[in-house]
Amino acid sequence: MAHKRDYYLVLSIPPISPPDEIKKAYRNLSKKYHPDLNPDMKTVSDEKMKELVEAYNTLNDNAKRKAYDAQPQFQMRRFSKNSARSKAMDKASLFKKPEKKQKSLLEQLLSPFMKKKDDGANKPDPKQADVHFMLGLSMSENESFLDQAKSEFQLALKYDATHKEAHYNLALMCYKLGDFEEARVQFQKVLQVEPNDQYARKMIQLLQDEMM
């Protein structure tokens, strides 16, 4: 399934947008870019409308939207199955999701091992990076906590700037929250750590600038 640009970017909406927001965005943009309203830019307007229709037809259909969202570049990064980090992740998966305005069970259990967020966060500490990475993963499973997940991945990178999975997941949080420009920047940082990351390259391609 090849796409020139990300469909959510085309409609200028966050990927977590509900169906009514998709329809609203399409209506507004189709009025703005309709060829009849842009006689001096008809060719470009025609192309823009084709792009809008393609994006809308996919995201407005539940099955097509699920298939689109299921593409590998949109998935959260975890650790490789045989790594030490993977074993820690398996234990973390046993804990429930965090509740709103309360510490999650994961946070409570890990709190004795966590440093204060302003205590040495700029010093390399892979173990602390993994703690925040695990919290970020737990929070990312609930759309209500994506902002908090983003903060945890940022903290993970403060403790370990080479944490490839944290870099990618931070970029994905920006993407899912609709901050496409910041997502582009973060995916570029992924390539600085792992130049051969094909999915980071794919995301940068999908998040290219507007046509007009």
The span from the CA of 193 to the CA of 197, in Å, is 9
Q: Is 12 left (phi over 0), alpha (psi -120 to 50) or beta?
A: left
Neighbours of 2 (CB within 10 A): 3
The domain 7-70 having CATH identifier 3.40.1080.20: the answer here is no
CATH number of 77-206: 1.25.40.10
Query: How many angstroms separate the first and last alpha carbons of the chain?
Result: 24
Element containing residue 198 per DSSP (H, E): helix 198-206
- Give the whole-angstrom CA distance, residue 52 versus residue 41: 16
Domain limits, CATH 1.10.287.110, in the chain: 7-70
The predicted pLDDT at position 36 comes to: 66
- Output the CA–CA distances (angstroms, integers) from residue 23 to 35, 79, 164, in the order listed: 20, 37, 36
pLDDT score of 96: 47
* Sequence-ordered strand ranges (E) for the chain: none
> In the chain, which residues fall in CATH 1.25.40.10?
77-206
* C-alpha dihedral sign at 126, 74, 141, 177: positive
Contacts of 33 (CB under 8 A, 6+ apart): 45, 48, 49, 52, 212
pLDDT, averaged in runs of 10, over the chain (212 residues): 81 97 94 71 77 96 98 90 51 48 65 58 83 97 96 97 96 98 97 97 90 46
Q: Do residues 197 and 168 touch, judged by C-beta distance below 8 A?
A: yes
Distance CA 212, CA 133 (A): 38
pLDDT at site 161 = 95
pLDDT at 112: 62
Threshold 0.95, pTM exceeds: no
d(CA 10, CA 57) in angstroms, rounded, equals: 12
